[in-house]
Amino acid sequence: MNKNQKGISIYLSVMVMTSILAIALGISAILVSQLKITKGLGDSVAAFYAADTGIERVIYAMQKENYMPFPGEEPCGLSFNCPPLPNGASYKIKVIQAGEISIIDVKGVYKSVNRSLRISFR
């Protein structure tokens, strides 16, 4: 055995361990980012359904309570009941246009995610 070959096994094992560590860190970074995306997707769905609840509330009020929207109105701040939902989500309703064709915009909020729905009707 040569004097030049004595440290080669340590060098190789350090290189192999470094490669394994780099691969493990890369995989864990990908998994963490996927977990964040998945969590955000769940929050997005909750915000969307909060907006959908607001739309349903407007339709119910129009059919059962003879509510007629007018432009610029934000019903949640008036006599219109917009309570927070059991999961902590909320929604805000805004009448953009009223008349022959009415447009109502509803924004659902859950944690830091906002989703909006807009309906138009005659």
Query: Which pLDDT score, from 0 to 100, does residue 78 have?
Result: 54
Residues 108-121 pLDDT 10s: 999 989 999 999 88
**Interior/surface letters 52-67, b for 16+ CB within 10 angstroms, e for the rest:** ebbbebbeebeeeeee
Phi and psi at 120, nearest 5°, equal -130, 145
| 36: number of Cβ within 10 Å | 10
What residue type is 108 in one-letter code? G
> What is the Cα–Cα distance from 5 to 11, expressed in whole angstroms?
10
> What is the Cα–Cα distance from 113 to 51, expressed in whole angstroms?
11
When mean pLDDT is compared over 16-20, 59-63, 73-77, the highest value belongs to 16-20
Please count the CA atoms within 13 angstroms of the CA of 122 that sit on its side-chain side: 0
Residues 10-47 pLDDT 10s: 888 999 999 999 999 999 999 999 988 888 888 999 99
